[in-house]
Structure 1
Amino acid sequence: MSRQPDPVREGLARGWRVLGGPHGALPGRVECDVAIVGSGAGAGITAELLTQAGLRVVLVEEGPLRSSTDFHQRESEAYPTLYQESAARKTADKAINILQGRCVGGSTTVNWTSSFRTPQSTLDHWRDRFGLSDFSSDVLAPWFQQAERRLNVGTWLMPPNENNELLRRGAARLGITAPMIQRNVKGCWDLGSCGMGCPTNAKQSMLVTTIPAALERGASLLVQTRVQELVMKGGRIEALRCVPVQLDGRLASGSEVQIVAQHYVVAGGAINSPALLMRSGLPDPHSLLGRRTFLHPVVISAALFEQAVEGWKGAPQTIYTDHFLETQPIDGAIGYKLEAPPIHPVIFASTLPGYGQAQADLLAEFPKTHSLLALLRDGFHEQSAGGRVTLRSDGSPVLDYPLTDFVMDGARRAFLSMAEIQFAAGAKVVLPVHEMAQRYTSWAQAREAIAALPIKPLLTRVVSAHVMGGCGMAGDDKRGVVRPDGVHWQVANLSVHDGSIFPTSIGANPQLSIYGIVNRLATALAKQLSGRDVTLA
């Protein structure tokens, strides 16, 4: 593969203001108009709009600055350098593995590009239960349109890879609609390694769009720098207290940094954002901070086919079905969205059950393996109240997420749905990813066996790449941590601009929800702070 130009390295050569790690020692004190914690979906949109308004912006990112030159399509390189806890972040009981980005661009640098607007049913629930009366599809449409235009969100025009085509084929034979997924790409090479960083800069992540735009306008970026505390005085934030960290997150040599701003935006992602507010002792009069944190808990079904599937090739997610969401009342039994994830060796081997000869047999059939995942729509029922972020003794965050019987009932139904689709698509064997599951060779056999499986935490393999909530947004301070405009209910010069503000899960891959909603919030903040009208360009 010929190497493409690297806009990040070109920007650094032009003199972008980037410090930390290999980019130079951190200053002892920085003054600016707005300090932004994080550099992912919410931070990137906010940075572009605020710098467009002429404001002096500093972004602080705990992870490293990596760019297309560094992306070699190798899991062994990507997971330790681009993900939280080397792609092995887990809930308190180790029952759920969580994939979250930890690099410039955050999870947008390593996600699979799936782009969905916030479903109307989700927005209706927010209006009815959380007082978000001004959040509707009509109101949000222009904000989504701007984000989609800016980030080149559109229909994927190439044929699905076989892994996704099997979802479409099996669903069609059962009379289930399975449309195409929109993707935020431009000139995509169809490589399939989106989760390891895009080596051709086709993925329109914050790394190659909004962050460079902000840096071109004079923003500063501090990398490998952790915000330890929001320093509060007199009911306002007066500074960020930051420390340098190594690639693995351990403290690095060097002095603390103090960042003084007029306004502060926390956009470190769900789990990290509420944890920062907790470490800082911010007001939490109704004990809401860190609670109602959602994951779209995911269960997986593997299947073996006669033909090659080669799930590592081609665009990773291009087909989905909402059949099992749309046929389920939003506040009834938990519904789920089905997608076909990419299959790469390390993730495959570390996720599937078994060991020894049994695992060796599975790995030998890797090229003919297909997988489906079910995203469980949590947060809409009293028995699906999500999890709670707390702090360890060293101040690092951990999420306690109970997998209730209500949630696990959804997991069982999802296993059944996925197995039926896979057999309809022609699978010769289906293997639910569960420690006690066997290789089932017919739909009748799988249906009976899955109905009898103990669907319990740790026996059932549960993963997630979507973290939402913990700093929920609501129309009053008894139901939310932040106001509908993203400003903290008790701290006037603090906003939260990331997925942690969602009062439930989205019920769809959340990146476009963050882009569209934060576009609206950040545009209003830019006007408030500068008096200038800005538009995401």
Structure 2
Amino acid sequence: MEAEPWKLNDHFIKLIKLPMETEPWKLNDHQIKVLKAFCGTFIAELTDDEIESLLNTKTKIPIDSEKIREFGKFDLSKQDEFIELLIDHLKRDLSMRSLSRLSKILTLFTIRPLSFLLTGHLSLFYELSRKDREIVLQKWSKSFSFYRDLYKTFSSIILISFWSSENASIFNSTIGYPGPDPRINSQRYTENLSKFPIYDFIQVPPEGLELQFDVVVIGSGAGGGVAAAQLAKAGYKVLVIEKGKYYHQSELTLTQADSTAKLYEQGGTIANQDNTIGILAGSTFGGGTTVNFSASFKLPNIIREEWASEGLDHFTTKEYDNSQDAVEERMGVSTKAIVHDEKSNILIEGCKRLNYHYADVPQNTAGAEHQDGWCLFGCRYGEKQGSLITWLRDARDNGAKFVQDCYVKKVLIKDKKAVGVEATVGSDKRKLIVHSKKVIVSCGSVHSPALLKRSGLRNKNVGKNLFLHPGMCITGTFPDKEIKSYYGTIISAYSSIHTDIYAKTSGHDYGTKIELMPFHPSYEVASIPWKSGLNHKQRMLQLNHHSPLLIIGRDKYPGSIDIDDNGEPRVHYTVNDYDLKNITEGVVAAVNVLVVTGAKSIDVGISELDEFVPTENDPLQDPKLKSFIENIRKIGTKNCNFGIVNPRGKTWEVDNLYVADASVFPSAPGVNPMITICSVAYSIANFIIEDDQRT
């Protein structure tokens, strides 16, 4: 018996709202059965007929029929070692609140009446056939928010966890993926090894520690690293506190699971409250500059003028020009050594044919040909001139000290002045108290507002202006080309698509950009929705033939940050209809790029739409393309994977407390923000020095 799972009864709602668990998180046997059933649906044992279809997948990789049959027969639900690994990773990466919610959801599928409401079947989810489970998931993917949330939650935690794990390595040769960079121990690595800086960190004993500094900088990324360097050069006694850990070049494994767990916030699992937007944020020494894609854009003049018109005059001054120039020089920003690979050539060629804008992306690589698609797992070759290589080195050489694995609970405030911080170090939470004359908060757009709120700031603007530059990925499949998007420069070219219909009248630009990204297996499954067990395995066999295009919008309408009962940040962000329309037009432009360059199929990341197969002759005039684009605009991209200080960086409420990161942006900068964050931090450090010299 089947029914449409549209309504939730009172028992269901009450179960979801049960209090958070306080005992150590553990799944019972029935919950594990449910989890296994999901695993065996997303990565399923195919039928003999489906395996024959798998054998006919178009690819330039030499077909090894035995390996493909083995791949086709693989059933993730039968891999007990992976199930245990998945549970361990969930416990490591998710908050207790998220774990509690996941337990409740799994429990729903073990209670027959509630399972019926979710699946439309009287049988429990794990009692259903694979085909019936697949149909349930397909319906969820096209349903309203709660069911789509279930689909996204389970597809993400299972597919990303599997394809980034060592368990998936048995299929690397089958799908043509090399695993870690094959050049990991090459001459290129050994020649650069001596250039990688070594840092010492203050050790906090079990009984705790109390320290005294002139300035405490919380965060070591684009903002914190620059501020620490400039102030240390000026003679301040500086302490840099980092929540993540430092990894030497030789410790970077460049494997997906290990790198993501060590270098990213919550192992890459952080998302907004309704789980519609994943947020990749660096959480390591050097912050986001250690794991970003090296894109080094200046703040566009139109945005500088817009911010100046809102009272931030500094952005149109010579002083800000000087800040940007100094940042670019120290980080070695240029376009001189760019080498375009196959994925960037597709974007460039498509833009040429369509008369779209295109240009090279400046790189912070000090003139090196940085063809390193694994650089998002840390730059093992030391070529990317992030904070770790540049600003933190300058801070160290000028006497700054460092603490790692350190969580700042709050800024200490006395008589409306910041006087230090209270923090804990390590998993055993050793207490650290730092007394200081000034505190600079550079924890990023998510954690800086949370820290200010934990510290008692009541300014209504704290946490209000959250801009995420929402983006989505679409993919063209080129069976006759080996693209291997994980090789080469991550982003060497881009296109600005002026989709903002109000730009001419408002004087602002809220258009989109088309950029590139590397499709390592975990990024592939994170970007393109799962459609069926067969389709998933077919797509993975064509990994090397996918050309991903990343559409990024400049969001006009912000989200916000508040904190939960434990003081941890909660991200409230929904892409506004205005921004959605602009992103949708960016998707349409990207589809056109893939069509004119000969993609044999295109997946736009919208569950409601099947892959589009262009016609061979004159594809832009194909009536099917026009209908496909109409459907993109009709359905939209809503369900796709997607000011608190004064002008000198000081908080209005508390003296000697500064913010130097993207939290200070009055609106989205419209470009990859690293250089803007660095330039703002450079300016704020100079403001602090100037103010102190006057007193």
Alignment TM-score > 0.5, same fold: yes
1:132 to 312, 320, 334: 312
The reply to whether residue 192 of structure 1 matches residue 373 of structure 2 is yes
Q: CA deviation at 1:398?
A: 1.4
Letter in 2 for 1:291: K
The reply to whether residue 33 of structure 1 matches residue 223 of structure 2 is no
Report if the CA contact (8 A) 1:39-1:60 is conserved: yes
C-alpha separation between the residues in 1 aligned to 2:280 and 2:340?
Answer: 24
Letter in 1 for 2:492: T
1:430 to 554, 579, 602: 602
Higher RCO (Cα < 8 Å, 6 or more apart): 1
The reply to whether residue 361 of structure 1 matches residue 538 of structure 2 is yes
Q: Residues 208-252 of structure 1: CA distance to partner in whole angstroms, max 9, x if unpaired?
A: 11112211222111100000111212111222010124xxxxxx2
Report if the CA contact (8 A) 2:471-2:553 is conserved: yes
Deviates more, 1:79-88 or 1:333-342: 333-342
Aligned twin of 2:355: 175
Aligned twin of 2:517: 341
C-alpha separation between the residues in 1 aligned to 2:638 and 2:273?
Answer: 12
C-alpha separation between the residues in 2 aligned to 1:206 and 1:377?
Answer: 25
Aligned twin of 1:204: 385
| 1:327/1:201 CA distance change after superposition, 3 Å | farther
Aligned twin of 2:627: 448
The reply to whether residue 505 of structure 1 matches residue 689 of structure 2 is no
Letter in 2 for 1:440: F
Q: CA deviation at 1:328?
A: 6.1
Deviates more, 1:505-514 or 1:397-406: 397-406
| 1:491/1:455 CA distance change after superposition, 3 Å | farther
2:587 to 388, 403, 415: 415
Report if the CA contact (8 A) 2:296-2:675 is conserved: yes
1:236 to 413, 417, 427: 417
Q: Residues 51-103 of structure 1: CA distance to partner in whole angstroms, max 9, x if unpaired?
A: 10111100111101112112122111111110011112100100000111000
Aligned twin of 2:298: 117
The reply to whether residue 19 of structure 1 matches residue 203 of structure 2 is yes
Aligned twin of 1:484: 647
| 1:52/1:7 CA distance change after superposition, 3 Å | farther
C-alpha separation between the residues in 1 aligned to 2:250 and 2:626?
Answer: 47
| 1:488/1:166 CA distance change after superposition, 3 Å | same
Which protein is richer in helix relative to its size? 2
Q: Secondary structure at the match of 1:113?
A: coil
| 1:334/1:210 CA distance change after superposition, 3 Å | closer
The reply to whether residue 290 of structure 1 matches residue 463 of structure 2 is yes
Q: Percent identity?
A: 24
The reply to whether residue 322 of structure 1 matches residue 521 of structure 2 is no
Q: CA deviation at 1:256?
A: 1.3
Letter in 1 for 2:439: Y
Aligned twin of 2:132: none
TM alignment of 1:218-229, pairs within 5 A: 218-229=399-410
C-alpha separation between the residues in 2 aligned to 1:458 and 1:19?
Answer: 47
2:332 to 148, 152, 156: 152
Which residues of structure 1 form unaligned runs of 5+?
A: 246-251, 463-471, 473-480, 533-537
Report if the CA contact (8 A) 2:302-2:509 is conserved: no
Which residues of structure 2 form unaligned runs of 5+?
A: 1-185, 615-619
TM-score between both structures, scaled by the size of structure 2:
0.68
Q: Secondary structure at the match of 1:294?
A: coil
2:526 to 337, 343, 350: 350
TM alignment of 1:522-537, pairs within 5 A: 522-529=685-692
Letter in 2 for 1:266: V
Q: CA deviation at 1:47?
A: 0.7
Report if the CA contact (8 A) 2:420-2:437 is conserved: no
State which structure, 1 or 2, has the greater radius of gyration over its C-alpha atoms: 2
Aligned twin of 2:322: 142
Deviates more, 1:90-99 or 1:71-80: 71-80
Q: Secondary structure at the match of 1:203?
A: coil
C-alpha separation between the residues in 2 aligned to 1:134 and 1:460?
Answer: 37
C-alpha separation between the residues in 1 aligned to 2:270 and 2:338?
Answer: 34
Report if the CA contact (8 A) 1:336-1:376 is conserved: yes
Q: CA deviation at 1:526?
A: 2.6
Q: CA deviation at 1:134?
A: 2.8
Aligned twin of 2:476: 303
Report if the CA contact (8 A) 1:299-1:461 is conserved: yes
Aligned twin of 1:477: none
Q: Residues 381-439 of structure 1: CA distance to partner in whole angstroms, max 9, x if unpaired?
A: xxx2x101011221110111022222222232122111001111221111101112211
C-alpha separation between the residues in 1 aligned to 2:194 and 2:424?
Answer: 28
| 1:194/1:9 CA distance change after superposition, 3 Å | closer
Q: Secondary structure at the match of 2:350?
A: helix
C-alpha separation between the residues in 2 aligned to 1:277 and 1:482?
Answer: 11
C-alpha separation between the residues in 1 aligned to 2:354 and 2:307?
Answer: 33
Report if the CA contact (8 A) 1:228-1:243 is conserved: yes
Letter in 2 for 1:413: E
Q: Secondary structure at the match of 2:445?
A: coil
Report if the CA contact (8 A) 1:311-1:370 is conserved: yes
Q: Secondary structure at the match of 2:352?
A: helix
Letter in 1 for 2:657: L
Aligned twin of 1:65: 246
C-alpha separation between the residues in 2 aligned to 1:425 and 1:103?
Answer: 39
Q: CA deviation at 1:142?
A: 1.6
Report if the CA contact (8 A) 1:31-1:261 is conserved: yes
Letter in 1 for 2:198: G
The reply to whether residue 514 of structure 1 matches residue 690 of structure 2 is no
Q: Residues 354-401 of structure 1: CA distance to partner in whole angstroms, max 9, x if unpaired?
A: 14111111111110000111111112xxxx2x1010112211101110
CA RMSD of aligned residues (A): 2.2
Q: How many residues get paired?
A: 495
Letter in 2 for 1:279: R
C-alpha separation between the residues in 2 aligned to 1:37 and 1:8?
Answer: 26
C-alpha separation between the residues in 1 aligned to 2:694 and 2:663?
Answer: 27
Q: CA deviation at 1:7?
A: 5.8
Letter in 2 for 1:301: I
| 1:142/1:440 CA distance change after superposition, 3 Å | same
Q: CA deviation at 1:27?
A: 4.8
